[in-house]
Amino acid sequence: MPTYTPPLRDMHFVLHELFDVTAQLKQLPPHGEIDADTINAVLEEGGKFAAEVITPLNLSGDSEGCTLDKATHEVTTPKGFKAAYQQYVEGGWPALSCDTAYGGQGLPHVVNQCFYEMLNGANQAWTMYPGLSHGAYEALHAHGTDEQKSLYLPHLTSGEWTGTMCLTEPHCGTDLGMLRSKAEPQADGSYKITGQKIFISAGEHDMVSNIVHLVLARLPGAPEGSKGISLFLVPKFLVNADGSLGARNTVFCSGLEHKMGIHGNSTCQITLEDAVGTLVGEPNKGLQAMFVMMNTARLGVGNQSLGLTEVAYQNAVAYAKERLQMRALSGPKAPNLPADPIIVHPDVRRMLLTARAYAEGGRALSVYTSLQLDISLAHPDEAVRNAAADEVAILTPIVKAFITDNGWNATSQCMQVFGGHGYIHETGMEQFVRDARINMIYEGTNAIQALDLLGRKVLADGGHRMRTFGQKITAFVEEYGTREDMQEMIEPLSDLGARFTKMTQGIGMKAMGNADEVGAAATDYLRVAGHLVFAYLFARMAVVALDKKDSGDPFYQAKLATAGFYYAKLLPEVVSLMRTGRSGLKPLMAMDESMF
């Protein structure tokens, strides 16, 4: 059975030594009193919950899966899931970053994001039940009426209820403009909603007394396409004015998806038959309200793969240190044993270091983005808030797509370390691979994230937001460019920044002649952007580690070694990506459709 150890030492490094989050949080009125000891204590306890309570349920939950009673439409989660959730609620964990006005603890998002990394590393399928609730909470907090907030947010904050996002329909996936679910206005101001939704994570389960569905549907006479979508709040049980539960609503699970991974989470087909709902936000502007939830979910999905990358790495390292096989090519490293442990072999180290680098780079990016989110929400200076929001906008698709692509790579590499044993369920490695694969698909496929980054976030504003972020990299290069011990990173980082600018300009010029050029280059472009951000963050981490390398703490030497590996073995991928990205539309469209 796989194990999980919360990566608290590296979290502390990123939070306090790299970004000095407490100094930045003190500038935000809601978080001015928080200190490092408080953050560390929360994460230590959160790590214990992840490692001791839900890690043991990961393998068994995958084997058991969820069960649907077709007569009652009720879903039973795997053994132990419900009890673990109750322990989660009793510990106050759902309220960690929620508004104190609704019973929350008011801690910053950056702390909650670190906590959720550990939950995902311990058990992604279980974590999805409370995880979706954060998106529902954020959407209602931003766009709900006062009545909706007072009735629903306290229960979502406490974890007494959970939330979902009901977007996809059988005939349309990402293209939500094609959805057919309809909402009929009623005399009392409510709506009756009818339709079919699929792929609804945590859409039905037995862990809470009520489930709050946020549902996209069309009003009568609504404009065609995405401009005619409205958002509705549809509870499993109707909620009375005093907050108590009323009658069972006509929204139910009509089927469970049979999936490749995340078996412990109920991925539901949801049927609505004149289900009672209330409008969230303005009519025909539901997609704007839903994007609050979707962007929260996209950051969460990147975090899911970060957690899987970390846990896969930990177990692969433990195995590589114990597994004896062959001798090192340069001679025995453990002459007292019949063979050397496989960690002595260079290619095994390559696989392990790939996962380690992607975990450490992903953690730095996740924390940085979450910190910018906190700043965008609470800084007293509007200009600072707007600048932080711009960074969150360009980094969100990178967090979602780059970290999940890397997670798929890393978990696969770690399974390979186990050899044939990695293919066996009991080791847990093949589950990490299966679970990681969904993260590249849902909440907008990674190609959609790439189009969002290049089309909406870069070209649409003339590259302003990306240039502004690039100025931080330029300032860093100028500040540390003369340090001899940083040349291994400064020169490649500076060179990549310049070439990335030219790549952006080149794609932009092509796109002026044919917009499909954006689609041809987007996936390569996002991956180059991801490496640019990782290279910048690894260089920043290296500065901190170099200044402390003689402290006697081997952590800093390990950090430098990981950064060196990233620059030498992973970053050079950008050379081929830039070439394929510049190759344009022609190689993709040269073949006639009839020839496929």
| Amino acid at the residue 366 | S
DSSP per position, 545-591: HHHHTTSS-HHHHHHHHHHHHIIIIITTHHHHHHHHHHT-SHHHHSS
Q: Are 136 and 163 in contact (CB under 8 A)?
A: yes
Please list the active-site residues: 443
Tokens of 196: 């079919």
Q: Using alpha carbons, select from 493, 544, 536 the residue that is nearest to residue 368.
A: 536
Question: Length of the chain, please?
Answer: 596
DSSP state of 78: P
The DSSP bridge pattern shows strands 161-166 and 74-76 to be unpaired
- Cα atoms in the 13 Å half-sphere on the side-chain side of 44: 8
CB atoms within 10 A of CB 426: 12
540-548 long-range contacts (CB < 8 A, ≥24 apart) are 540/18, 540/364, 540/476, 541/13, 541/14, 541/18, 541/360, 541/364, 542/486, 542/489, 543/480, 543/483, 543/486, 544/13, 544/17, 544/18, 546/485, 546/486, 548/17
Q: Using alpha carbons, select from 556, 564, 567, 563 the residue that is nearest to residue 12.
A: 556
CB atoms within 10 A of CB 386: 11
CB atoms within 10 A of CB 336: 5
Tokens of 113: 């994001």
| Amino acid at the residue 11 | M
> In the block, which residue shows the tokens 């139910």?
252
